[in-house]
Amino acid sequence: MRICLFPGTFDPVTLGHVDIVERSLGLFDKMYIGIGSNANKQPMFSDEERLNWIQEIFKDEPKVEGLVYEGLTVDCCKRVNANFILRGIRYVSDFEYEKVIADMNRSLDNNIETVFLTCAPQFTSVASTLVRDVIRNHGNASSFLPEVVRRTIYGK
């Protein structure tokens, strides 16, 4: 069985994240969207909010399940029997950064492969960091967000 972990902070979940998940469903039998706790990042949204968003967005997709984890991504992979890590790539610079992480993960467990999926062109500029900045400064980031996330943030 091809089991995948798609790790990230998902703070917030964006249409770019949803696009990567939807386009990769044919590659895997099961996908866990892992909300990783990063000691270096203070999230804008709680783990519970982000997990609820993922559960709501993918409620009709039995292959997808959300979870929250701390620690090494490869340890989370072992916990859910994932032999693949999925990562989305927007720019060449993303690839350089992600390759270093993939190499480290491979050195920690050579049974786990990282699969890179390039984002669709319309989502190239959609980064959670930028979306958070728009929200924090009272701008309207609705066009970058799935409906359930939009409703939570803007109450519409």
**Nearest Cα residue to 86 out of 78, 75, 98:** 98
Q: What is the pLDDT of residue 22?
A: 96
Q: What is the DSSP string of the chain?
A: --EEEEEE--TT--HHHHHHHHHHGGG-SEEEEEEE--TT---SS-HHHHHHHHHHHTTT-TTEEEEEE-S-HHHHHHHHT--EEEEEE-SHHHHHHHHHHHHHHHHH-TT-EEEEEEPPGGGTT--HHHHHHHHHTT---GGGS-HHHHHHHH--
This prediction's pTM: 0.93
Q: What is the total count of domains within the chain? A: 1
What residues are annotated to the active site? 17, 41, 90, 128
Structure tokens belonging to residue 141 = 């980031």
**What is the full per-residue pLDDT of the chain (156 aa) written as tens digits?**
999 999 999 999 999 999 999 999 999 999 999 999 877 778 999 999 999 999 999 999 999 999 999 999 999 999 999 999 999 998 888 899 999 999 999 999 999 999 999 988 888 888 888 899 999 999 999 999 999 999 999 985
Q: Return the CATH number at 142.
A: 3.40.50.620
Q: What is the pLDDT of residue 40?
A: 74
Q: What are phi and psi of 149, to 5 degrees?
A: -70, -45
> Could you tell me if 73 and 34 are in contact, meaning their C-beta atoms sit under 8 angstroms apart?
yes
Q: Which domain holds residue 76?
A: 3-154
